[in-house]
Amino acid sequence: MSTQPSHIVSHAQGVETESVDADYFANRQLKQGAAGWVLLIGLGVAYVISGDYAGWNFGLAQGGWGGMFVATLLMATMYLCKCFSLAELSSMIPTAGGGYGFTRTAFGPWGGFLTGTAILIEYAIAPAAIACFIGAYCESLFGVGGWLVYLAFYVVFVGIHILGAGEALKLMFAITAVAAIALGVFIVGMLPHFDAANLFDIPVSEAAGASAFLPFGYVGIWAAIPYAMWFFLAVEGVPLAAEETKNPKRDLPRGLIGAMLVLLAFAGLILLVGPGAAGAKALMGSGNPLVEALESAYNGSTWMSQFVNLVGLAGLIASFFSIIYAYSRQIFALSRAGYLPRSLSVTNRNKAPVAALVVPGIIGFGLSLTGQGDLLILVAVFGATLSYVLMMAAHITLRLRRPEMPRPYRTPGGIVTSSVALLLAAVALVAGFLVDPRVVIGAAAIYALFIAYFALYSRHHLVSGTPEEEFAAIQAAEKALR
């Protein structure tokens, strides 16, 4: 079947858009109606739940418990405001492109590409970080870790996604439910051992503003921000399921906000009872902090620690599994529209984009071999925060310039809400440089390569007729008539 362009139809905004024949889109179809709002809440929680099991505790080493607590409050505010804003955008522009579609409508092709590739960096790197934590859990459970574990998980879970979205989403929901039960067991088990003094057992440094509450001073708050984000990172991926959702204008806002409320509850309780029972110092460098917290509180291994250890693996799997789904949908949308190589968006008979699943999986596996989960988190956070700034700017721009656009859901507080999220996202973007500037500069270099690809090649080969491009074209035409 031919997928070659038949002619160039537009030269607007410094890009060239080509028309394609019907076979092009016939070979790029997702399975519609696979998810309702309850499944979307599960998907949103699944994206993030691994952050409750491992990764957040590295923030204790950067800011102490007080620094991590303040950083978590700031990031919880940012994510809640962002989810309210994205709920509006996703109800207006329900496409598989998610943030790329929002900024494409607000700022044109360049804005869409810059956002889409920033999201892609976040979602392609996050599974590699999670694979490192999975390896640590498997090592403690079975005595086997390292590259064989990373490879096995990539092969199995990419393979399940290739079988189809409906089956993958339902399995993801079940795994997430089990992982959430284990978090409940952990919280209940730690409560009797809580002692507020344990929160402040990290020695006080000589940094400016250092105290028992902020042992690394004021700068520790800022340095802890990337790890506070790990409690919520990737929940914004819910809109990527738009084209596979039964009623996206209603279900996407419910899924986003519902998932965020669940994550807020888990983040607050875990940050309080974990270090409060085991001590902040004991957890700040752990690859398996919940299990170590239980064993510290109960003076050794118990059925509870063994249960959380075993089921904690399910939490890591849930996020690993779901973020693979997210990166494949982001790549699918960008590829279908010509921003990335078009072959990446071809779907199989199960309506799964095989190349969009496999290619980032190979790259992620390679990165997981570094074993540096904490540094990989920084790369993912760089892409995430950059996309947040752009998406919140899109919300503000569309509110101001396109107030007449239909908004099935409206953000409480309007542009004030999205402005708060934008400001905090900008703060979080800079925070990564305080932890390890080399890593963030490396991530920026990868981003620059994407930009060069778009500037030199793909902006001359975009595809007309995709949902994101058609939506933007319709809105532009309506604006021109006024």
Q: Which of 84-93, 134-143, 223-232, 456-465 shows the lowest per-residue confidence on average (mean pLDDT)?
A: 134-143
Q: DSSP states of 106-163 as a string?
A: HH-HHHHHHHHHHHHHHHHHHHHHHHHHHHHHHHHHHS--THHHHHHHHHHHHHHHHT
Query: Between these two residues, 235 and 471, which has the higher pLDDT value?
Result: 235
Q: Which of 48-57, 87-96, 237-246, 323-332 shows the lowest per-residue confidence on average (mean pLDDT)?
A: 237-246
- For residue 156, what are the CA distances in angstroms to 46, 168, 289, 317, 362? 17, 12, 26, 11, 13
Kindly list the strands in the beta sheet with 17-20, ordered across the sheet, starting from the edge strand earlier in the chain: 5-10, 17-20, 462-463
Q: Is residue 24 part of a domain?
A: no
Q: Is residue 44 part of a domain?
A: yes
pLDDT of 1 strictly over 50: no
The number of beta carbons lying within 10 Å of the beta carbon of residue 310 is 14
In this structure, what CATH number is given to the domain that contains residue 317?
1.20.1740.10
Q: Is residue 30 part of a domain?
A: no
Q: How confident is the model at residue 476 (pLDDT cuts 50, 70, 90)?
A: low
145: its two tokens = 């870790």
280: its two tokens = 């902040």
pLDDT digits (tens, 9 = 90+) for 406-443: 999 999 999 999 999 999 999 999 887 777 888 888 88
Mean pLDDT of 188-196: 95
Q: Model pTM?
A: 0.88
Unique residue bearing structure tokens 């490192």: 132
pLDDT of 325 strictly over 70: yes
The neighbouring-strand residues paired with 10 are 17
CA distance 353 to 357: 6
Could you tell me the residue range of the domain that residue 83 belongs to? 35-405+421-466
Q: Is residue 411 part of a domain?
A: no
Q: Is residue 8 part of a domain?
A: no
User: What's the mean per-residue pLDDT of the chain?
Assistant: 88
Q: Is residue 22 part of a domain?
A: no
What local confidence, expressed as pLDDT, does residue 248 receive?
Answer: 86
Q: At what angle do helices 165-190 and 147-162 cross, to 10 degrees?
A: 130
CA distance 347 to 460: 24
What local confidence, expressed as pLDDT, does residue 11 receive?
Answer: 59
pLDDT of 140 strictly over 80: no
Q: Which of 188-197, 349-358, 386-395 shows the lowest per-residue confidence on average (mean pLDDT)?
A: 349-358
Q: Which of 47-51, 135-139, 355-359 shows the lowest per-residue confidence on average (mean pLDDT)?
A: 135-139
pLDDT digits (tens, 9 = 90+) for 229-275: 999 998 998 988 887 788 888 999 999 999 999 999 999 999 999 99
What local confidence, expressed as pLDDT, does residue 52 receive?
Answer: 94
* Number of separate domains in the chain: 1
What local confidence, expressed as pLDDT, does residue 167 receive?
Answer: 64
What local confidence, expressed as pLDDT, does residue 481 receive?
Answer: 53
What local confidence, expressed as pLDDT, does residue 240 receive?
Answer: 83
**DSSP H or E segment with residue 320:** helix 303-336
